[in-house]
Structure 1
Amino acid sequence: MLIGVSPMMTKPAYVRWMLMQEARSLLARLGQVKPFALTESAVPAANISLSAQTAIDRYLITGRQALRLQVQAYLRWLRGLDDDNTHPAEAQHRLSLLRLRFNVTLSQFDIFADALTQRSEYETGVRLAGLDVVAADALRLEGYYAVPPVICYLDRGAGAAIRRARTRLPGGGENPVAVIRVPRERMVGSGIASSLIHEVGHQAAELLDLVNSLRQLLQLQEREAKNSIWRYWERWISEIIADFWSVARVGVASTLGLMGVVSLPRAFVFRINRNDPHPFPWIRVILSCAIGEALYPHPQWQRLARLWESFYPKTGLDAARYALLNRLEAAIPEFVDLLIHHQPRSLRGRSLIEVMDTGNRQPDRLTGYYEHWQRMPAAMYRSAPTLVFAVIGQARADGRMSPEQESTILAKLLTYWAVCDILSTAAACGKHDAAHRHQMHVHGPSGDITAMV
């Protein structure tokens, strides 16, 4: 009912009327915020997974319902006031808190809207859905945790980032899905896997409580060894775990991708910021090579490390920085050994290297896969996405595949994974294995691997 302002209205009544208009306006605008299931227009293959969409919409709908009830309670409170007990400052304070909550609700909506809107972009949307499949495969660790829904989106810049599932959102509430931002400039090539799976590693570390368990171990190591160099590994451990996860999943593709991200002007490569959780770029690449050598022994890691050192020689550094780099390098073997053999309580007596699929990703094994797929391309379509990225990354490192071929093949594969995911129950894509739902039981087209559709 529309009620105008009357000249006979008392000041307290005018206060109540004005605040009621504002509160009702909040309700009207809140009613315009629709579930993503009704607002996002994308081809089916570009859609996020049903579990992700359901989790997001349920979370946001619950938040909107709670806010609606709070506004309605506020309106009832206002209507119950009379001129004697109307206190404008208190009424305005209550409304301002509701408005802040309203803005938080919209902010949480926008967190997911930024990611989902890209699903309507031609080709990009479907490829992002393919990256969702890759991320889920990289996160899977059977028997240790339930894999939360993952959605990916693109943004400018060279770095990636993650808003982890089951962590606090701005304004409160637990994030129902993992949202991973990947750099647009890395689409499409095997380097995208390095950035994507590094962020997946952050989510896995959270689910397994790896940062806390390793930090305690490193603090103990520092006390026992009486060596302050362990303090650096402790400071950087969250990023190192993510790099470890990436190398463990996609092998040399991870290190090559990392080199692409941190290939900066020399001053930045050697800049040591004690407040930065990231290892400074020079040592980070050397450490990635050392992790690769520990997981997948092969001459390529030393070759890459020497290549990196030729790009950024230590000569010319000041004495203090030069000495620190040498101390860090000398400590890397012991640190990497501690890292890969770490047995956190969450893994129930097993070490990190034992739970990762390292046997299937040894360089010679990856080369064998590539040669087999050249003869039988359909086999690649039946393989886990992270294994495919590892094989293609190894082929790039060995000079067996050109950047142009890599980009073409991966674009097709991302589309294929997206389509198979949305049609996972259809005969064309077959049934997903109960233990490994990511493996597609279909036949890809025949012919040379570089010509596959």
Structure 2
Amino acid sequence: MRRAADTQYLANEALGLFSRLQTVRSFALGMPMVLAASVSAPAQAAINAHLARVAFDLRRRLRDFVRWVRSPESQALSTEQAQARFVLLKLRFNNLLDQVDIFADVFSQRGEHGTGVFMAGLDALAEDALNLPGNYYDPPPLICFVERGHGAAIRRARTRLPGGDDNPVGVIQIPRERMVGSGIASSLIHEVGHQGSELLGLTKSIREEIDALVARGCPRQVGWQLLSRWLNEILSDFWALGHLGISATYGLMSVVSLPSYFVFRIGTDGPHPFPWIRVQISLALGAALFPHPQWAALAGQWQALYPTKGLAADKQQLLKLLLGLLPEFAKLVCNHRSPTLKERRLADLFPIAERQPAQLQALYRQWQANPQLREQTTPSLAFAVVGQAKADGQLTAPEEYAVLTALLTRWALNRVRSYGLPAAALARPLLSANGTSFKPLTLSTHEPQ
């Protein structure tokens, strides 16, 4: 028989969680930001609905626990057994708070002057890069935030959050040190590529194609096996190339520009190609998508920045092996077909024709004659034009900054006009699945309402 004091303790602990659960509210009620800095209405609605669903489920379970622990039927269980039930609810509560913190990182930055609006503009860029014409998948909402550090990352939509719930939106972390320049698009669209590649099942289907080559006894199997192991990161780089052209490779070079020891530090058991060969892979894919002498020139620049002369013989041999494979590998990736691609070539999913260097250069000249044309350009195309102009020496870094900050602000304002006033629609209390409000709780210490 459990002691009355133990029962009261467990009931009060559950009621404490119940009370603190009231602090989980819609972000629209607590995050100060100008409208242009807001995350999109679909993203806000998806996050709000997700947190409401988790919070209401936990609320119900806590109420059921308090009733149960005070009931005669629970007295047959020991205090230890009752505690075991309670701690599962406590862990679930902490899972919910972890989820709130994930999204709070995004929303809290929207209150930073300037940064919040830039983030909204980058949301628009991310959505543009994910929305492939052709209805290949239902794209989830995407939201961005900046973080310290050198690299970017994504918590993909429809993957597991703490506690096992499906993430309702893609959350993209980008490095603050890259704000604002054309290189930020390379990092951002690389992360978008992780989401898009997963939705299309590209890593699996292309890896199967490579594995079939290896099974047939093709030469240079070690090189193919490494490329297969690195495929997830390579395809995300490919996604960035398909939207940005040479700007994607310049951005990648900026990310991996490290002391030579790290650039040539060859790890063959991780998901990332080592930096030197990763840039070479990007160059090979870029040349396959957008044939132009600029790729050979950039390859020469990369070789000058990080010459291979003086490397150990085994490293030299591996680099030679991989470089020899890259033209064939680039052809395989560009020409890949699968049922999820509706049997089209992978390269044909991307706006390759309009992103050829000559087209980007012509568009930049039109911008020079009529700057208002910039505002009619889609975000990913605008970054491609700016990146190409910078690569051609037609645009300085300060000029690039001025153009991109103006465009990011414009895209943020356009989203407000597109969605109307999201705060008016989303400032309601959290709603349950059946539409009833998550009302303030006034539980007594004796019985839950």
Give the TM-score of the pair, scaled to structure 1.
0.90
**Match for residue 211 of structure 2?**
219
Q: What is the CA–CA distance in structure 2 between the aligned matches of 1:154 and 1:337, rounded to whole Å?
A: 35
Please tell me whether the aligned partners of residues 47 and 119 of structure 1 are also in contact (alpha carbons under 8 angstroms): yes
Identity among equivalent pairs (%): 47
**Structure 1 residues 259 and 13: alpha-carbon distance in aligned structure 2, compared to 1, 3 A threshold:** same
1:6-56 Cα shifts (integer Å, max 9, x gaps): xxxx97100000111100000000111111121111110000000000000
Please tell me whether the aligned partners of residues 13 and 82 of structure 1 are also in contact (alpha carbons under 8 angstroms): no
Higher relative contact order (CA 8 A, sep 6+): 2
Q: How far did 1:166 drift?
A: 1.2
After TM superposition, what 4+ stretches of structure 1 lie above 6 angstroms from structure 2?
none
**Match for residue 362 of structure 1?**
356
Q: What is the CA–CA distance in structure 2 between the aligned matches of 1:283 and 1:101, rounded to whole Å?
A: 44
1:209-268 Cα shifts (integer Å, max 9, x gaps): 101101111111112215221100110000000000001101111100100000000110
**Match for residue 183 of structure 1?**
175
**Structure 1 residues 83 and 280: alpha-carbon distance in aligned structure 2, compared to 1, 3 A threshold:** closer
Moved more, 81-90 or 408-417: 81-90
1:290-314 Cα shifts (integer Å, max 9, x gaps): 1111111111101111110111111
Amino acid at match of 1:51: P
**Structure 1 residues 91 and 38: alpha-carbon distance in aligned structure 2, compared to 1, 3 A threshold:** same
Please tell me whether the aligned partners of residues 229 and 271 of structure 2 are also in contact (alpha carbons under 8 angstroms): yes
1:192 partnered with 2:205: no
Amino acid at match of 1:354: D
Q: What is the CA–CA distance in structure 2 between the aligned matches of 1:385 and 1:264, rounded to whole Å?
A: 29
**Match for residue 350 of structure 1?**
344
**Match for residue 148 of structure 1?**
140
Q: What is the CA–CA distance in structure 1 between the aligned matches of 2:58 and 2:100, rounded to whole Å?
A: 14
**Match for residue 12 of structure 1?**
3
1:49 partnered with 2:40: yes
What SS does the aligned partner of 2:143 have?
strand
1:310 partnered with 2:342: no
What SS does the aligned partner of 2:3 have?
helix
Equivalent runs, 1:89-238 vs 2, <5 Å: 89-142=80-133, 143-224=135-216, 225-226=218-219, 227-238=221-232
1:110-150 Cα shifts (integer Å, max 9, x gaps): 11111111000001001100000000001111221122100
**Structure 1 residues 195 and 162: alpha-carbon distance in aligned structure 2, compared to 1, 3 A threshold:** same
1:192-213 Cα shifts (integer Å, max 9, x gaps): 0000000000010011010110
Q: How far did 1:86 drift?
A: 4.7
Please tell me whether the aligned partners of residues 157 and 169 of structure 2 are also in contact (alpha carbons under 8 angstroms): yes
Q: What is the CA–CA distance in structure 2 between the aligned matches of 1:420 and 1:82, rounded to whole Å?
A: 60
**Structure 1 residues 294 and 79: alpha-carbon distance in aligned structure 2, compared to 1, 3 A threshold:** same
Q: How far did 1:84 drift?
A: 5.5
**Match for residue 240 of structure 1?**
234
Q: How far did 1:317 drift?
A: 1.1
Ranges in structure 2 where 5+ consecutive residues have no aligned partner = 421-449
Q: What is the CA–CA distance in structure 2 between the aligned matches of 1:423 and 1:131, rounded to whole Å?
A: 16
Please tell me whether the aligned partners of residues 2 and 75 of structure 2 are also in contact (alpha carbons under 8 angstroms): no
Q: What is the CA–CA distance in structure 2 between the aligned matches of 1:222 and 1:171, rounded to whole Å?
A: 40
Please tell me whether the aligned partners of residues 37 and 118 of structure 2 are also in contact (alpha carbons under 8 angstroms): yes
Amino acid at match of 1:45: A
Which one of 251, 263, 266 corresponds to residue 260 of structure 2?
A: 266
CA RMSD, 1 decimal:
1.3
Amino acid at match of 2:91: L
What SS does the aligned partner of 1:423 have?
helix
What SS does the aligned partner of 1:317 have?
coil
Q: How far did 1:85 drift?
A: 2.2
Q: What is the CA–CA distance in structure 1 between the aligned matches of 2:88 and 2:351, rounded to whole Å?
A: 51
**Match for residue 437 of structure 1?**
none
What SS does the aligned partner of 1:151 have?
strand
1:390 partnered with 2:381: no
Which one of 6, 29, 38 corresponds to residue 20 of structure 2?
A: 29
**Match for residue 285 of structure 1?**
279
1:402-434 Cα shifts (integer Å, max 9, x gaps): 0000011101110110001111278xxxxxxxx
**Match for residue 327 of structure 1?**
321
**Match for residue 64 of structure 1?**
55
Aligned residues: 417
Please tell me whether the aligned partners of residues 69 and 75 of structure 2 are also in contact (alpha carbons under 8 angstroms): no
Q: What is the CA–CA distance in structure 1 between the aligned matches of 2:54 and 2:419, rounded to whole Å?
A: 33
**Match for residue 371 of structure 2?**
377
Please tell me whether the aligned partners of residues 52 and 151 of structure 1 are also in contact (alpha carbons under 8 angstroms): yes
Q: What is the CA–CA distance in structure 1 between the aligned matches of 2:74 and 2:91, rounded to whole Å?
A: 27
Q: What is the CA–CA distance in structure 2 between the aligned matches of 1:245 and 1:401, rounded to whole Å?
A: 24
Q: What is the CA–CA distance in structure 2 between the aligned matches of 1:196 and 1:276, rounded to whole Å?
A: 21
Ranges in structure 1 where 5+ consecutive residues have no aligned partner = 1-9, 427-453
**Structure 1 residues 139 and 11: alpha-carbon distance in aligned structure 2, compared to 1, 3 A threshold:** closer
Amino acid at match of 1:92: Q
Please tell me whether the aligned partners of residues 12 and 83 of structure 1 are also in contact (alpha carbons under 8 angstroms): no
Moved more, 37-46 or 332-341: 37-46
Please tell me whether the aligned partners of residues 194 and 254 of structure 1 are also in contact (alpha carbons under 8 angstroms): yes
Please tell me whether the aligned partners of residues 267 and 274 of structure 2 are also in contact (alpha carbons under 8 angstroms): yes
Amino acid at match of 1:276: G
Q: What is the CA–CA distance in structure 2 between the aligned matches of 1:210 and 1:234, rounded to whole Å?
A: 12
Please tell me whether the aligned partners of residues 128 and 378 of structure 2 are also in contact (alpha carbons under 8 angstroms): yes
